[in-house]
Structure formats: structure tokens, C-alpha cells
């Protein structure tokens, strides 16, 4: 229904809560701006493009409490569209960038209209290579080139749902992209590229056995903000990953099949509810380190025009921004106002959207003070860790930033988990065959106590991964020696150069069975190593069936088949998929790999067997300074050692990172048990991994031949019979 501007009744309203809040009597609007001289609320007749609008200038005496501007519009309903104009001094040299010609998003907006209008290149003729061009100030009203905020009613039939909040140590994370998951023509879903498309893939996730989906950013961002040209297609690339947030409370509208005003909120909630019904958590990758407004030449969308010097870290010359994000600006996360904004946002996603956790992109920025210095006890990080509404919520840090901070192993703030890139790099180097990596392999298998033990954190605070969105897929890691990012339009200069990858005989695609055999073996090694290591495992979506990006290790701008999941590979690489899902199930069956404490190397069960023992291939204690590419470990699975309510199996695991086959001496099992083989990545499918009850007993008095560049997992079990080893 169109709005009747002639009969609008504007009341004083209330200062809290911030944002647009529907009430029985209408809608209350509240906006923070400390240094503004005037604030105007713009109401649109409808959410449709080019619909008429009405501007309501707020009275500084009646509609302002402290630094909060507010009003109440009587009888206004959810679905109404709005923006703001905020006036004040434009003095960049003093950090003030008010501009009454810029319409601004409400930082607390819960939904936006169609964001396709954000096309600065086409709308404004902007040339990023022309230093005289500047999007931060405009003499022309930009009301037609800004999406509108939508008043959202948070009422929803959750059907009794609440966040699942699995303990980290029992979790297996799956990093994925909402759109890329189902955008490919082979996805087989009715609603490709949407939240509903995710719902349609629930049977797949249940079959795979992961516990938690970690989504790349779903908060509203401008997909049209990039200017590079794909040299192959001649088309402008797009922001696909979404690490450039414009509206932190708003789920991305283009990811929703429901295009009605605010429909993306309902559809996101439906996705969360249905995932929870299936036992799957939702973790959001969230980007509080910077915003879509970019550098001093970037667009004014919201924060810059509301109170630039409060929301952002400014340089000594306040015309410019400190840039610890590498994206042009840095959010002033430890300013009290910004701290409250971040907490309000996190609490909203947990209480109203029912998400189970967050991964904080470039999380070290949240630990910098207002001058950009790293703090010993950052109040922002401590507030997140100690907030009572977030006490069961997963909080995972990317413990570094683009300003040189690297805090893996000592991220401050208490209970934080961390992406462990040391695990990633050490495992890659070991399985590539780099010398002197075996002792690092042992450290990572044992939960990275060198990083997490000293400050009282546990093995599960290490988020172990081999691949993530940022870098090669697992298939590309074993198929390319170097990056191939030519289609990004940056002449292959972008993306990391230190990937610790190998092509194993030829760069890229191969039909050579010998080359492909080595690659498949390495894929299985990576997955198996990940699943038997202490810590919380995370796999990159699509790795389970051999997804490739054709050597692109920085596909941030590839909203194309380069990044989309080609679901035809699920059938083509069915043997790999079978191995991955069975390794996930194997881990989840055995509490020994989910123990909450680090190994001690001592006997805690009085059975003369330490909780973990290390061996070389001859069954001797390793000389860690001289050890070659072979390593074995024995793990005592008794409940006293693994801190579980029942005994687990004992385990004997052998690793051979070298090229040649090696005979390993196996330790004798105890209590009349036999070693049985569960995994041997050197064998072809289906012998590479055994289903429960089909494992083969071994003769532990004989050596076991571990093929080159492969690993073997044995478990102890009562039974009879022998098997020819190796």
C-alpha cells in the first residue's frame, strides 16, 4: 500500500533502541551522530525504484537526546523504505565529512532494497585511475543510486528453534559460499544461489557428516564496487566473496529467492531453522575490520557521512585513513560507540537470527586502539568473549591483519578460537616432501600445544584447516605449482605467492593416470591427517569432491563457474567423496581425536602406555633433529586418557612423506587385542578406508609396508585372524 505523505504524524520518539523499530503505534527511528548539525529522515512511498519520497527534518530540540536523533512515525508499518540525510561541516582535514547531498544507510538497517543500483562506474562516470575523481563528496543528490533501508518486523515462527551451540571439540566445520554452493547449472536445486538453495542441499550435508556450515559474508555488500576487467570475457569483475560490508545487520537480498521487501530476512531465518532441524550449525564470517566505504576517495554510504572520526581510525592528517585492513579504511573498533555497535550487531544475529557463531575476518584489528596500536587487553575482544548473550556462541578469529599484526597462538580476549595457519602450512610442506618437516607434523597432530597451551586454551581452540576460500582448493593445491589469476584483471599480481603447493608432474589438468594417482593419494592424506589431528577441523566446501578453480588462488571477484560448485564432480569423484565422508564419520566416532586436553606423554591410566608415544619407522623413539620423512604415533584410547565417558580404541598411525615405500615396525597391542587396518591412503578405493565391521586384522609381529606419500591408520580391537601386512 502506498504511503500517505499528506497525513503523516511525526512524534518525538525515543533514543533507544537504535534503528527502525516497528511498534503497535507505528515505527520508531533512532540514529547516532555526535557532530551532525541536522538530520533528515527520508520516507519512500514504496520500496519500488523511483517511488516518490518525503523528507522529514528532525527538530534538534525535540528529536534529539544526547547524540541520538530520533522520531516516531505514527501508523507506519513494516516494509516501509527509508534513508537519511545528515548535514554538518565538510572539513576532511579535521576528519569531518558530512554531505547533505549524500543519502545514507541506517547502520542498524535490517534489510535493503535491490543493491544493483550501486554501480558507481555507470551511474557517476567514476574512473578509479583518475586521482581527481572522488566519490566521498557529491554536489548532486544521489538518492537514485543508493539502495533503501527496509523496516523489518522480526516476528517469525521459529517452531521452538534455538542455536545448537555444539562444543567446538565435537564440531567439523564446512566453509562455503551461499551463492556459489548452488549457482552452478549442475547444482540440481530449484532455487540456485539462494538461502533456499542451501536448504535444498541439507541431505548432502547430512550425508557428508559435517556439523557446522561457516558461510562467507552474507551481510549486505556492493557486488559492483570493483573496476577491473576480466581479459577473457571483457566484462567487469564483481565482488563475489563479499568482504566489504555496507550494512552489518542486513542479510544480502540477492541471496534470497523471496524478493518482497524484507523477504531476505524471513528466508535467512527459514534457512537457519531448517539447518538446525537437520542438526547443522550456522557460523557467519563477519567483517568488522573495515567497511565498503573504502579510502578517502571511496563512496559515502553510511558511517563516513554519519560521524567519520568516530567510526574510523584516521591518520595524523585526518583527511586520510589508517589502513590496517588493506581495503582503504579501518573501523575504530575500540571507540566506545563502535564497541556498542559491534556488540549490538552480534547479539542481533544470535538472538533474532539464531546463528551459532562468528568467524572474525582480520580479527587482530579488533585489538587495536584508536591510534592503531595493538593492545594487551583489548576491551572489544574481552567484551565479545565475556558477553552473557554470546557465552555459548562460537567466536573464531583470523588472528592477523594487513598492518603486520600476527597473533596466532596469543590472540587476546579469553576463550577465542583461531584459524591456525601454522597447521595449514606445516601440513602442506610435509606432504609436499619438504625436508625437516616431520617434527612440525607431530606438533600439529598433537593440537599445536606450542601455540595454545601457554595461555590456558585447549586443543579445540585451534581451527585446523588445509584450505580455505583464500587460496587454492585442495585439488588445485596438488595440481598447480603457481597461481593462475589472470582472469581477475590484475595481470596475476594478486593472490599469495607462498602456497606450498606442487603440480606433481604437470601444471593443471591431467589425464595421466600416474599423476592423477599421486594427486588423489595426497588429497586423501590431507583429509585423513586433518581428521586425526587434535583441534577443530574445517574443510573448504567442494574439496570433498575435487572442486577446482583452475589454479586461481584468489577468486574473490569470480562470480562464475570458476568459483561455483560443479556438482557433476560428486559423481565423477565418488571415490574421493566416499573417503572424505568416511573419514569425518571415523573422527566423530572416536573421542580420542576430540580429547579436550593436550597430550602429556605420560601414563594416566596405569596401564604402562603413555597417552601418546612417538616412533620412527623402526619402532624407536625419534631423534627429532635427524628424523626423516617417516613418523608413527600410538595413542592410548582409554577413557582416563581421552577424558571420555567410555573407553575408545587405541590407535597406531603411520606417516610416510617420502617417495619410497617403507616398512614400519608396529607396536604390540595390549590386552589380547589385535591391530586392524581402517585407513591406507596408498591403496585404491574401496580398500583405502574400511567401513566399521569390515576392517582387516594385522599380524603386529611383522612390519607394515607404508607406500610412498601415504598414511595408515590402525585401531585396536579384540578379534582373531591375520592379514598380510602392506
**Which residues are catalytically annotated?**
361, 398
Backbone angles phi and psi of 68, in degrees to 5: -105, 125
Give, rounded to a whole angstrom, the gap between the first and last alpha carbons of the chain: 74
The Cα–Cα gap between 71 and 15 comes to 8
The Cα–Cα gap between 704 and 712 comes to 9
Distances, alpha carbon 625 to alpha carbons 120, 435, 440, 621, in Å: 58, 11, 11, 12
In 338-493 the beta strands, taken as DSSP E runs, fall at 357-360, 394-397, 417-420, 462-465
Q: Which residues pair with 70 in a beta bridge?
A: 30
Q: Three-state SS for 320?
A: coil
62-87 residues labelled b (16+ CB within 10 A) or e (exposed): ebbeeebbbbbbeebebbbbbbbbbb
List the grid coordinates of 601: 606423554
| 3-state class percentages of the chain: helix first, strand second, coil last, to nearest 5 | 25, 20, 55
700 in Cβ contact with 648 (< 8 Å): no
Closest CA to 101 of 148, 40, 48, 46: 40
Strands 281-286 and 212-215: parallel
The Cα–Cα gap between 355 and 596 comes to 24
Distances, alpha carbon 90 to alpha carbons 100, 136, 319, in Å: 10, 11, 11
112 in Cβ contact with 149 (< 8 Å): yes
190 in Cβ contact with 250 (< 8 Å): no
| Burial class of residue 233 (count of CB atoms within 10 Å of its CB; 0-12, 13-18, 19+) | exposed
Task: Compute the C-alpha angle 309/314/319, nearest 5°.
Answer: 90
635 in Cβ contact with 611 (< 8 Å): yes
Closest CA to 348 of 107, 607, 110, 7: 110
In 297-393 the beta strands, taken as DSSP E runs, fall at 357-360
> Which strand (E) or helix (H) includes residue 666?
none
**Ranges of H-type helices in 11-55:** none
Amino acid at each position: 500500500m502506498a504511503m500517505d505523505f499528506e497525513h503523516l504524524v511525526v512524534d518525538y520518539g525515543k533514543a533507544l533502541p537504535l534503528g527502525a523499530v516497528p511498534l503497535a503505534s507505528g515505527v520508531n527511528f533512532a540514529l547516532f551522530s555526535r557532530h551532525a548539525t541536522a538530520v533528515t529522515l527520508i520516507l519512500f512511498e514504496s520500496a519500488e525504484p523511483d517511488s516518490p519520497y518525503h523528507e522529514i527534518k528532525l527538530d534538534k530540540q525535540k528529536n534529539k537526546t544526547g547524540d541520538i536523533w530520533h522520531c516516531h512515525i505514527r501508523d507506519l508499518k513494516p516494509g516501509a523504505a527509508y534513508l537519511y540525510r545528515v548535514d554538518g561541516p565538510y572539513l576532511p582535514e579535521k576528519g569531518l565529512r558530512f554531505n547533505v547531498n549524500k543519502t545514507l544507510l541506517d547502520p542498524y538497517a535490517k534489510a535493503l532494497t535491490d543493491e544493483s543500483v550501486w554501480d558507481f562506474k555507470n551511474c557517476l562516470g567514476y574512473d578509479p585511475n583518475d586521482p581527481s575523481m572522488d566519490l566521498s563528496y557529491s554536489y548532486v543528490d544521489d538518492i537514485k543510486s543508493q539502495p533503501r533501508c527496509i523496516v523489518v518486523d522480526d516476528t517469525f515462527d521459529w517452531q521452538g528453534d534455538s542455536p545448537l551451540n555444539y562444543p567446538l571439540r565435537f564440531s567439523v566445520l564446512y566453509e562455503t559460499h551461499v551463492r556459489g554452493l548452488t549457482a552452478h547449472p549442475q547444482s540440481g536445486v530449484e532455487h540456485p544461489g539462494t538461502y533456499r538453495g542451501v536448504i535444498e542441499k541439507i541431505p548432502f550435508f547430512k550425508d557428508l557428516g559435517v556439523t557446522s556450515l561457516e558461510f562467507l559474508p552474507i551481510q549486505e555488500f556492493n557486488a559492483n564496487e570493483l573496476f577491473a576487467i576480466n581479459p577473457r570475457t571483457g566484462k567487469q569483475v564483481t565482488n563475489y566473496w563479499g568482504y566489504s560490508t555496507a550494512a552489518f545487520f542486513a542479510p544480502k537480498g540477492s541471496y534470497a529467492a523471496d524478493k518482497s521487501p524484507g523477504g531476505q530476512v524471513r528466508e535467512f531465518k527459514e534457512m537457519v531453522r531448517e539447518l538446525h532441524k537437520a542438526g547443522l550449525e550456522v557460523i557467519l564470517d563477519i567483517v568488522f575490520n573495515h567497511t565498503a566505504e573504502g579510502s578517502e576517495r571511496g563512496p559515502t554510504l553510511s558511517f563516513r557521512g554519519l560521524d567519520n572520526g568516530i567510526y574510523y581510525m584516521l591518520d595524523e592528517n585526518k583527511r586520510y585513513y589508517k589502513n590496517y585492513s588493506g581495503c582503504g579504511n579501518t573501523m575504530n573498533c575500540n571507540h566506545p560507540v563502535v564497541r556498542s555497535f559491534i556488540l549490538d550487531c552480534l547479539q542481533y544475529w544470535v538472538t533474532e537470527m539464531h546463528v551459532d557463531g562468528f568467524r572474525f575476518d582480520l580479527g587482530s584489528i579488533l585489538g587495536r586502539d584508536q591510534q592503531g596500536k595493538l593492545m594487551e587487553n583489548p576491551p572489544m575482544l574481552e567484551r565479545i568473549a565475556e558477553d552473557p548473550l554470546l557465552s555459548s556462541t562460537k567466536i573464531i578469529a583470523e588472528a592477523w591483519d594487513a598492518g603486520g599484526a600476527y597473533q596466532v597462538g596469543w590472540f587476546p580476549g579469553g576463550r577465542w578460537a583461531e584459524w591456525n595457519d601454522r597447521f595449514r602450512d606445516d601440513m602442506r610442506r610435509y606432504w609436499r616432501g619438504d625436508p625437516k618437516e616431520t617434527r612440525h607434523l607431530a606438533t600439529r597432530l598433537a593440537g599445536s600445544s606450542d601455540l595454545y597451551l601457554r595461555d590456558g586454551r585447549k586443543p579445540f581452540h585451534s581451527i585446523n584447516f588445509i584450505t580455505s576460500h583464500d587460496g587454492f582448493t585442495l585439488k588445485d593445491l596438488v595440481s598447480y605449482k603457481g597461481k593462475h589469476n589472470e582472469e581477475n584483471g590484475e595481470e596475476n599480481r594478486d593472490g599469495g605467492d607462498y602456497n606450498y603447493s606442487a603440480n606433481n608432474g604437470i601444471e593443471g589438468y591431467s589425464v595421466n593416470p600416474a599423476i592423477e594417482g599421486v594427486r588423489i593419494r595426497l588429497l586423501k592424506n590431507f583429509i585423513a591427517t586433518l581428521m586425526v589431528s587434535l583441534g577443530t577441523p574445517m574443510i573448504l566446501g567442494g574439496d570433498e569432491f575435487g572442486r577446482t578453480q583452475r589454479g586461481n588462488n584468489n577468486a574473490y571477484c569470480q562470480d562464475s563457474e570458476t568459483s561455483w560448485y560443479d556438482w557433476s564432480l560428486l559423481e565423477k569423484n565418488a571415490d574421493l567423496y566416499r573417503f572424505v565422508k568416511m573419514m569425518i564419520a571415523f573422527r566423530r566416532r572416536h573421542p580420542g581425536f576430540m580429547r579436550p586436553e593436550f597430550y602429556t606423554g605420560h601414563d594416566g591410566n596405569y596401564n604402562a602406555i603413555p597417552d601418546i608415544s612417538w616412533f620412527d619407522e623402526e619402532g624407536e623413539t625419534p631423534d627429532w633433529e635427524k628424523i626423516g620423512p617417516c613418523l608413527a604415533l600410538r595413542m592410548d584410547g582409554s577413557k582416563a586418557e581421552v577424558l571420555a565417558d567410555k573407553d575408545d580404541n587405541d590407535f597406531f598411525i603411520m606417516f610416510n612423506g617420502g617417495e619410497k615405500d617403507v616398512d614400519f615396525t608396529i607396536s604390540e597391542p595390549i590386552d589380547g587385542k589385535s591391530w586392524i587396518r581402517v585407513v591406507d591412503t596408498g591403496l585404491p578405493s574401496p580398500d583405502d578406508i574400511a567401513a566399521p565391521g569390515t576392517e582387516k586384522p594385522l599380524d603386529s609381529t611383522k612390519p607394515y609396508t607404508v607406500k610412498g606419500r601415504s598414511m595408515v591408520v590402525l585401531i585396536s580391537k579384540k578379534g582373531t585372524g591375520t592379514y598380510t601386512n602392506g
